[in-house]
């Protein structure tokens, strides 16, 4: 990790927190706050792509909510499968670190979602919020998932390996996934314990965290999960806000194009352009589908109102 980012993380930790190695390939960042603790699993293999101060939404939510924050940071994109990290977590469990808080929420997306589920075993009684978690990448159990061939030799059989089993010590868990991504739907089906809440977000794609942040859904989602108020009805109300996201509308337009549904594609493009007109590529595609001139397109967009959340 570049020296400026390391120094930035040290500055964030301050005197009351810490930044320390959690093995050779991971860092642990702790920021002291209130009586609730958010534990995040983050892949910052390319921090140079972020500017100093451009923090993940989950971090900002913790600060704004007055929570304490613990972030396990991977520097190698190794899915947190290093035994040294497991030993670091074991040490925190032995010293009752997680028991010092009234409420603890483990959160992650993608690789971090598997980690949030798997490592919840180190803190019995906590809650988990996982976006598109895999259950395992063991080829014998999930040979149908070919998205990460470089992880096939990683250890998903020993400690903290099979996510659904590791969740058994959690008080509550919510798994959110896109049913239109076949691999994510199959993994989510393996999280079938009675205390696991499975919520669907069609069209979120393979980067659900980015979409939820873009739709202003991630912050209230984290707050509801921390407070124990995340219900299917509440999530459904939040998920309606996707209709105000140009990114989500464009993804639906692309899906309609792949399904040869020109009318639906044109409708999605019209709504996306109403939210963000300055997109020449979308304008050209919409004009091709509808045969409308630029003036006609502008008039149509002016009549369409974005749905209210």
Q: What is the pLDDT of residue 301?
A: 56
Judge whether 218 and 58 are in contact, CB under 8 Å: yes
Q: What is the pLDDT of residue 309?
A: 44
Q: What is the pLDDT of residue 48?
A: 46
The two three-digit tokens of residue 186, written as one number: 């199959």
Q: What is the pLDDT of residue 139?
A: 94
Q: What is the pLDDT of residue 39?
A: 98
pLDDT, tens digit (0-9, with 9 covering 90-100), for 24-62: 889 999 999 999 999 999 887 655 445 666 788 999 999
Task: At 275, give phi and psi (nearest 5°).
Answer: -80, -35
Which segments in the chain show pLDDT lower than 50? 48-49, 306-307, 309
Q: What is the pLDDT of residue 283?
A: 87
- The burial class, CB within 10 Å (0-12 / 13-18 / 19+), for 202 is middle
Task: At 79, give phi and psi (nearest 5°).
Answer: 60, 20
d(CA 129, CA 219): 12
- The burial class, CB within 10 Å (0-12 / 13-18 / 19+), for 255 is middle
- The burial class, CB within 10 Å (0-12 / 13-18 / 19+), for 287 is middle
Q: Which of 246, 243, 230, 250 is nearest to 131 (CA)?
A: 230
């Amino acid at each position: 990790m570049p020296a400026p980012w390391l120094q930035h993380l040290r500055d964030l930790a301050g005197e009351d927190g810490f930044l320390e190695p959690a093995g050779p390939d991971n860092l642990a960042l702790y920021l002291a706050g209130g009586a609730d603790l958010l534990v995040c699993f983050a892949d910052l293999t390319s921090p140079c792509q972020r500017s100093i101060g451009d923090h993940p939404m989950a971090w900002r939510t913790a600060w704004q909510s007055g929570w304490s924050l613990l972030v396990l940071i991977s520097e190698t994109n190794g899915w947190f499968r290093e035994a040294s990290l497991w030993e670091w977590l074991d040490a925190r469990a032995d010293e009752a670190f997680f028991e010092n808080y009234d409420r603890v929420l483990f959160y992650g997306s993608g690789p971090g979602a598997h980690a949030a589920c798997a490592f919840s075993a180190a803190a019995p009684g906590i809650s988990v919020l996982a976006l598109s978690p895999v259950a395992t990448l063991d080829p014998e159990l999930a040979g149908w998932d070919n998205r990460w061939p470089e992880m096939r030799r990683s250890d998903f059989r020993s400690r903290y390996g099979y996510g659904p089993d590791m969740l058994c010590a959690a008080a509550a868990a919510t798994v959110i996934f896109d049913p239109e991504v076949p691999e994510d739907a199959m993994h989510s089906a393996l999280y079938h314990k009675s205390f696991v809440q499975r919520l669907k977000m069609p069209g979120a794609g393979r980067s659900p965290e980015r979409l939820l942040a873009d739709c202003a859904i991630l912050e209230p989602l984290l707050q509801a999960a921390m407070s124990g108020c995340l219900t299917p009805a509440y999530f459904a109300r939040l998920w309606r806000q996707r209709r105000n996201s140009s990114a989500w509308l464009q993804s639906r337009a692309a899906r309609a194009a792949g399904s040869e549904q020109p009318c639906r594609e044109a409708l999605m493009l019209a709504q996306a352009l109403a939210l963000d007109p300055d997109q020449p590529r979308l304008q050209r595609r919409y004009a091709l589908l509808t045969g409308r001139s630029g003036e006609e397109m502008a008039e149509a967009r002016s009549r369409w109102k974005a749905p209210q959340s």
